[in-house]
Amino acid sequence: MAFGLSVLTLAYAIGHISGCHLNPAVTVGLWVSGRFDSRDVPMYLIAQVLGAVAAGGVLFLIASGPPGFDVTAGFASNGYGAHSPAAIRCWRRW
């Protein structure tokens, strides 16, 4: 839910400035519909991919702090209760 609310907040905050190009799908969709200039598409796509890689690195640094963290056990996935990647680990602490 936090990721969705973050995207919604960004859309309202910067949508009127940049068209809210948060991912390549938005950029390509605007380009296909004729609302975005073809010469700007490559740089936008490169910037979005580099931003995603940087954000993934930050998430990895934040999440790798707890002892016993395993990247292959549902890193950055959403879930609730038993479907949460940290459900068992969190309940054992209490």
pLDDT digits (tens, 9 = 90+) for 62-83: 777 667 766 666 665 666 666 6
Average pLDDT, integer, range 33-56? 92
- State residue 75's pLDDT score: 61
Average pLDDT, integer, range 11-21? 81
CA 80, 85, 91, 93 dihedral sign is negative
**Torsion, Cα of 66, 68, 74, 80 (10° steps):** -70
Q: Are 65 and 78 in contact (CB under 8 A)?
A: no
| Structure-token match 């936090």, residue found | 2
pTM (two decimals):
0.59
Assign 3-state DSSP to the chain and report helix, strand, coil percentages, each to 5: 65, 0, 35
Average pLDDT, integer, range 3-31? 84
